[in-house]
A = this chain, B = another copy of it.
Amino acid sequence: MEEKLLLTGFEPFGGDKINPSGEVAKSLDGAEIGGYQVVSRVLPVEWGTARDLMERFIDEVDPLIILSLGLSAGRAEISVEKVAINYTGKGKDNRGNVSERNYIIENGPAAYFATIPAEEVVEELNKKGIPARLSLTAGAYLCNYVFYSACHHVNSRGKRALVGFIHVPALPEMVAGKGQSVPSMHVDLIRNAVISALETGIRSLTNCG
């Protein structure tokens, strides 16, 4: 049986009709990358549910790599996240709820570092001409929430998967005519970046083997 890579994105939120993280994830569902099969899932932008589903997807798919994508409108380049923190801000989710507590896991560690080779992913993307940088904060909204949740689930259950998170810019059509100067990135470039990140992750699996 073929080994799996779990790729997650989010549904649209905050008035947007599209979310490139979910679109790119869906577009790669079933693809074979480096001999592994991509299994894509779209997460709701909802405190609680997003974590529950992330945990369930990890259990069901039993992937070698968990790569989650999220939208960060305003960033100009692919942001490969280095660290997930046990903290939630006061942002409302798609149901209008705020996180009940300001931590994700009671008594969980303050943070987890990404276990995909984040620096190498960045280096490889820039080599390929796709603007990328290492980011030291995934924020305090749903993105950091599912990233931390995935790290904690893998760690506390002794699972084997490498975990990573990538923030992607808005699409050009999302920012056109909004009257603000917001950077954007072509969907093909984002998609290529995600494939490259998975390939770099796979190489690091092999190197360890």
Instruction: Name A's B-contacting residues (CB within 8 A).
Output: 75-77, 82-83, 85, 87, 109-113, 125-133, 136-137, 139-140, 172-173, 175-177, 179, 181-186, 188-189
Contacts and interface: CB of A to CB of B under 8 A. Distances in A.
A127 B87 contact: no
29 contacts: A76-B76, A76-B182, A76-B184, A77-B181, A83-B85, A83-B111, A85-B111, A85-B113, A85-B136, A87-B113, A110-B111, A110-B112, A125-B176, A127-B176, A128-B176, A129-B176, A131-B172, A131-B175, A131-B176, A131-B177, A133-B181, A136-B137, A136-B140, A137-B137, A172-B185, A172-B186, A183-B183, A183-B184, A185-B186
Contact of A176 (B75, B83, B130, B139): B130
Contact of A111 (B76, B111, B181, B184): B111
- Which of A82, A131, A188 has the most chain B CB atoms closer than 10 A to its own CB? A131
A106 to B, nearest CB: 14
Given A127-B176, A136-B137, A172-B186, 13 more contacts: A75-B181, A76-B183, A83-B111, A85-B113, A111-B111, A128-B176, A129-B172, A130-B172, A132-B176, A136-B140, A172-B185, A172-B189, A183-B183
A86 to B, nearest CB: 8
Closest 10 CB pairs of A and B: A126-B177, A129-B173, A111-B111, A183-B183, A186-B186, A137-B137, A110-B111, A136-B137, A76-B183, A126-B176
